[in-house]
Structure 1
Amino acid sequence: MSRGLWFVAGAGAGVYAMIRGRRAAEALTVDGLRDRVGAAVVGARMFRDEVAQGKAEAETDLRQRTGLGPHGAHELGVAASSTNQRGRSTHEVDPLHQDKEGTS
């Protein structure tokens, strides 16, 4: 029983080492290195796209929380510009807007 067990263990270790050696040799060929570099580029591109998507989602969420519109203006507290009788520009500030009068 002991000899058979050691024979199977040795054969299994030999097959494992042969497979690992073949994979290592294939990885170090020109085609293998090209595949690895290509996979790294694809991985970096996917990571960049995921980060950009997360950034866009976070920005949208923050804009909704803070009440900012798509271009940075307050949705509820925007100062409305108009002209008075003399043709000068005046600012009417929404009462909900917290800044000083005349600023936006």
Structure 2
Amino acid sequence: MKGRILWFVAGTTAGVYGTFKAKRMADRFTPTGMADQVAAWQVGLQAFSEEVRAGMDAREAELVEHLGLPPDALSRAPRVEGAGGRRALPALRQPAPASPLSPYDE
């Protein structure tokens, strides 16, 4: 008798759980449910992009400090075309002139 009650309760619990999950799944594919999913995705994407920007700003500040640039170096730096409006650090030194001969020509 106890076994039958146990299996009855287990079956009832599984049925209620399955019904609840099926109803939630059906609600997700209604126009309102789809709009809610898109809105949630947009909020998540916005939060992610804000965290990435905050991390980039913190890393830029670390680089400015490490390179010994003035604190306002990035605010005065020109915007780079085609880089999403990111700032470019000023060049610290000129590149070495190219040798007219390659190491293999000697």
Identify the TM-score tier after normalising by the shorter chain.
0.5 to 0.7
- The alignment of Structure 1 onto Structure 2 pairs a total of residues equal to 75
- Computed over aligned residues only, the root mean square deviation of the Cα atoms, in angstroms, reads 1.9
Note the C-alpha offset of 1:56. 0.2
Structure 2 stretches lacking a partner, 5+ long:
75-92, 95-106
Distance (Å, rounded) in 1 between the aligned partners of 2:17 and 2:34:
22
Q: Which runs of 4+ in 1 moved over 2 A?
A: none
- What aligned pairs does 1:87-102 form with structure 2 within 5 A after superposition? none
- Name the structure, 1 or 2, with higher relative contact order (CA <8 Å, separation 6+): 1
Distance (Å, rounded) in 2 between the aligned partners of 1:55 and 1:3:
62
- 1:3-49 deviation line (CA, Å, top 9, x unaligned): 00100000000000011011001111000000000110111111111
TM-score, length-scaled by structure 1: 0.67
Distance (Å, rounded) in 2 between the aligned partners of 1:29 and 1:35:
10
Instruction: Report what 1:67 is aligned to.
Output: 68
Q: Which has the larger radius of gyration?
A: 1
The structure with more strand, counted as a fraction of residues: 1
Distance (Å, rounded) in 1 between the aligned partners of 2:48 and 2:5:
50
Instruction: Report what 2:11 is aligned to.
Output: 10
- 1:54-82 deviation line (CA, Å, top 9, x unaligned): 0001100111122112226xxxxxxxxxx
Q: Percent identity?
A: 38
Instruction: Report what 1:40 is aligned to.
Output: 41
